[in-house]
A and B are shown apart, each in its own frame.
Chain A
Amino acid sequence: MKILNKTLRLIDWINDRAGRILSLFILVMSGLLLMEVVRRYLLNSPTVWANELSQMLFGAYVVLCGGHILASGGHVNVDILYSRLSRKTQAKLDIITSFLFFMFCVMMVVYGGSLAWESLSTFERSQSAWNPPIYPVKLTIPLGAGLLLLQGLAKLMRDILIAVNKGEDYTAVAPQEKETL
C-alpha cells in the first residue's frame, strides 16, 4: 500500500512539474511574437523562424498539459447531477465511465505514436522557408497522451480505493476552481 501511495504521488508530481514548466512557454511565445512585430515594422528585418517556432511551442504546450489539467480537476464536465452525489458514488461512476477515457487516451498514444514514428523515421521537416525538423513536436502527441493516461490510471486507482472505503489517505491534491473563457 505504501508503494502504491508513493507511485500515485510520483505521478502527481510529474504532471504538476510538467504543468509548471509548460506554463512558462507563454512568456517565450509572447516574446517571440513581439520580437517579430518589432523586427518587421521597426527594424524592417523580419525573421523566418519566430512565428513558426512559437507555433511549435504552442503545439507542445497544449498537448503535454492534458495530464496536468486532469490532476488539477480542470477538464470541464457537466456537474449538475454529478456534484450532488457523495464522493463515494462519484468514484463508482468514474470507474464505470473511465473506459471511454481509456479508449480515447490509448487511441491517442497508439495512433499519435505511429504518426510520430513515421515522422521520426524520415526526420521529417516542415518544408517552410525556415524548414525546421518537426518530429520533436509530433512526438509530443503520444507523450502528452501518455502523461494523461498515467494521470488517468492514478485517478482510477484512487477511485477504486475510495469506492472500497480506503480512500481517505489517497486523495489527490485539492481540485482547483474551474475556469472558463
Chain B
Amino acid sequence: MSIELLTILFFVSLILFLALGLPLSFVLGGVSMVFIYATWGPQAFYMVAAQTWGAMNKFTLVAVPLFIFMAMILERSGVANDLYEMMYLWFGPVRGGLAIGTVVICAIFAAMCGISGAAVVSMGTIALPSMLKRNYDKLLAVGCINSGGGWGILIPPSVIMILYALISGESVGKLFAGGVFPGLLLLVMVSTYIAVRCYFQPHLGPALAPEDRGDWGKKLKAFKAVLLPIIIVLMVLGSIIGGVTTPTEAAAMGVLGALISALVYRQLSWRVIEEAALRTLRLTGMIMWILFGAYCFSSAYHGMGAPHLIEHLMTYIPGGPWGTIVFIQIVIFILAMVLDPAGIMMITVPIFLPFVKAHGFDPLWFGILFTINMEIGYMTPPFGFNLFYLKGIVPPSISMGDIYRSVIPFTIVESTGLALVMIFPQIATWLPYKVF
C-alpha cells in the first residue's frame, strides 16, 4: 500500500473511532498499534513501551499533578470569597464594576494556578449570584466568568505550557514568561469591553446604590485579601522566572501556599485534602494516559512516513507562511470544539511544529498562540469545558442557550487579542527574551 493511502487511512480511522466515543488515549494507542504492526512489525512495540518509561521519567512532568493539586485546594480554600468581597467594595461603585472585579479575580486565580477549572467554579458560585442579585444582565455576568475562567492556562503557571514545553523542547520558564503580557492584554481588553458597554448601557451592569458601598476604612481593611495570593504568586512565579528553583519545586511550594491559605481561612480538613488528591490523580492520570497513547501515535505517524504527505498537502495552503499559521490556528480552533486541550496539543504540535519552525517562526510564540486559542476553545460551544462547569452551577433561570449566547461578544474580544499577538509577536516574546 502506498504511503499516501496509508496516511489517509490512518487519519480516517483515528477520526472514525474518536467519533464512536472510544476514549482518546485508547484511540491513539490502539489505531497506532495496528498501523505500527502493519508497517514495522511487532518489534516496534518495544520502542513504544520504552517511550512510556521515558514519559514516567520526565522531572518537569512531576509539576503537572502538583499544579493541579494546588488548584484543587485553592478552589476550596475560601480565598475567592475574600477577593470578591474586596473587588465588591473597590469596583462596585463603577458601572459594570462587579463584572470587571470578577475578571480581575479570574486573572489573579490564573496567576496562582495552572488550570482553568478553579476560577470558573469559584466565580460561578460566588460572583454570579451576587451580580444577578444586583440586577446585572445575566448574559454579561455569565459571559465574563466564562471568558476570565479560561485564563488559567495562559497566565503562568500553566499545565498546558508544561506539556507544550515537553513536546517542543522549549523551556518552561520562557513559556511562562511569554504568557504574562498576552494574559494582561486579554484582561485589559475584556475589562475595557465591559466598562465601555456598561457605561453606555447602564442597565447591563448598574453601579451599586450608595448605601451598599463601603467607606474607606472598610475598603482598606478588605485589601488584605490580596496579600496571600500575592505571596503565593511571588513564591511560585518569582522562583521560576527568577531561576531560583525548577518549575517542579516551585509547584511544590505552591501546594504549600494553597494549604496555608486553606488553613488561614479555616477550610482545611482531611476530607478536603482527600477529595482534592483523588481529583488530582484522575486528571493527571487522564492526561498521562493520553500522552502514552500520543507516543504510540507519534511513532506510527513518523514510522510510516506520514510527514511526507502532510508536508505535501501543506504546500497547497494559500498565503505563504502566514497562511500556514492562520490555517493551523483554524484547525486547532475546530479541534477545540470537540476535544480536550491536552489531547489536541499532543496530536497537533508534533505535526505542525516542524512547519512553524521551517517558516522561520518562533516556536515559543507559536506556543503562546496555541494556548490563547485553547483558552478561547474553553468558552466556545459545543465542547467548551467552561460551559459545562457553568451549567453545573448556574441557577435554573439561566439556560444552556443563555450560556452559549453570552460568550459571543467575549469570543470576539479575545479573538481580537489573539490576532494582536499574531501581528505583534513582541507582546509574547519580549519578556522571555528579556529575562532569560
- Chain B residues, CB < 8 A from A68: 281-282, 285
Q: Quick check: is B2 within 8 A (CB to CB) of the other chain?
A: no
Q: Quick check: is A4 within 8 A (CB to CB) of the other chain?
A: no
Q: Quick check: is B122 within 8 A (CB to CB) of the other chain?
A: no
- Complex Cα distance, B26 from A108, in Å, reads 12
One of B18, B25, B339, B392 near A75 (C-beta < 8 A): B25
Which one of A6-14, A33-41, A163-171 is at the interface? Answer: A33-41
Once A180-B340, A181-B160 are accepted as A-B contacts, the answer to whether A78 and B282 lie under 8 Å apart by CB is no
- Complex Cα distance, B383 from A105, in Å, reads 28
Nearest CB of chain B from residue A151's CB, rounded to whole Å: 12
Task: Find the B residue at minimum CB distance from A76.
Answer: B340
Once A30-B256, A111-B45, A111-B48 are accepted as A-B contacts, the answer to whether A181 and B69 lie under 8 Å apart by CB is no
Q: Quick check: is A93 within 8 A (CB to CB) of the other chain?
A: yes
Nearest CB of chain B from residue A83's CB, rounded to whole Å: 8
- Complex Cα distance, B279 from A23, in Å, reads 8
Q: Quick check: is B284 within 8 A (CB to CB) of the other chain?
A: yes
Interface residues of B in 278-309 (CB under 8 A from A): 278-290, 292-293, 296
A37 pairs with B245, CB closer than 8 A: yes
Once A30-B252, A69-B286, A179-B286 are accepted as A-B contacts, the answer to whether A90 and B21 lie under 8 Å apart by CB is yes
Task: Find the A residue at minimum CB distance from B254.
Answer: A30
Q: Quick check: is B57 within 8 A (CB to CB) of the other chain?
A: yes
A74 pairs with B285, CB closer than 8 A: yes
Nearest CB of chain B from residue A67's CB, rounded to whole Å: 10
Q: Quick check: is A59 within 8 A (CB to CB) of the other chain?
A: yes
B286 pairs with A20, CB closer than 8 A: no
A79 pairs with B21, CB closer than 8 A: yes
A contact face: mostly helix, strand, loop, or mixed: helix
- Chain A residues, CB < 8 A from B274: 23
Interface residues of A in 91-113 (CB under 8 A from B): 93-94, 96-104, 107-108, 110-112
One of B55, B56, B252 near A37 (C-beta < 8 A): B252
B252 pairs with A34, CB closer than 8 A: yes
B279 pairs with A179, CB closer than 8 A: yes
- Complex Cα distance, B344 from A106, in Å, reads 25
Interface residue count for B (Cβ, 8 Å)?
Answer: 80
Q: Mark B145-187, 1 if CB is under 8 A from A, else 0.
A: 0000000110000011000000000000000000000000000
- Chain A residues, CB < 8 A from B431: none
Q: Quick check: is B108 within 8 A (CB to CB) of the other chain?
A: no
A55 pairs with B255, CB closer than 8 A: no
* Among A51, A72, A103, A115: residue with most chain B CB under 10 A: A103
Interface residues of A in 12-51 (CB under 8 A from B): 19-20, 22-27, 29-30, 33-34, 36-37, 41, 51
Q: Quick check: is A65 within 8 A (CB to CB) of the other chain?
A: yes
A30 pairs with B56, CB closer than 8 A: no
Q: Quick check: is B436 within 8 A (CB to CB) of the other chain?
A: no
B65 pairs with A29, CB closer than 8 A: yes
* Among B26, B287, B292: residue with most chain A CB under 10 A: B26
Once A19-B281, A100-B30, A108-B52 are accepted as A-B contacts, the answer to whether A30 and B66 lie under 8 Å apart by CB is yes
Q: Quick check: is A158 within 8 A (CB to CB) of the other chain?
A: no
- Chain B residues, CB < 8 A from A61: 65, 281, 284-285
Q: Quick check: is B17 within 8 A (CB to CB) of the other chain?
A: yes
Other than the given A19-B282, A26-B280, A180-B341, 6 more pairs (CB < 8 A) read: A33-B249, A33-B252, A34-B249, A61-B285, A93-B21, A181-B341
Measured CB to CB, the residues of B under 8 A from A are 17-27, 29-31, 33-34, 45-46, 48-50, 52-53, 55-57, 59, 61-62, 65-66, 68-69, 114-117, 152-153, 159-160, 244-245, 248-249, 251-253, 255-256, 273-274, 277-290, 292-293, 296, 338-343, 382-383, 385, 388, 392
Measured CB to CB, the residues of A under 8 A from B are 19-20, 22-27, 29-30, 33-34, 36-37, 41, 51, 54-55, 58-59, 61-63, 65-66, 68-69, 72, 74-82, 85, 90, 93-94, 96-104, 107-108, 110-112, 114-115, 137-138, 141, 176-181
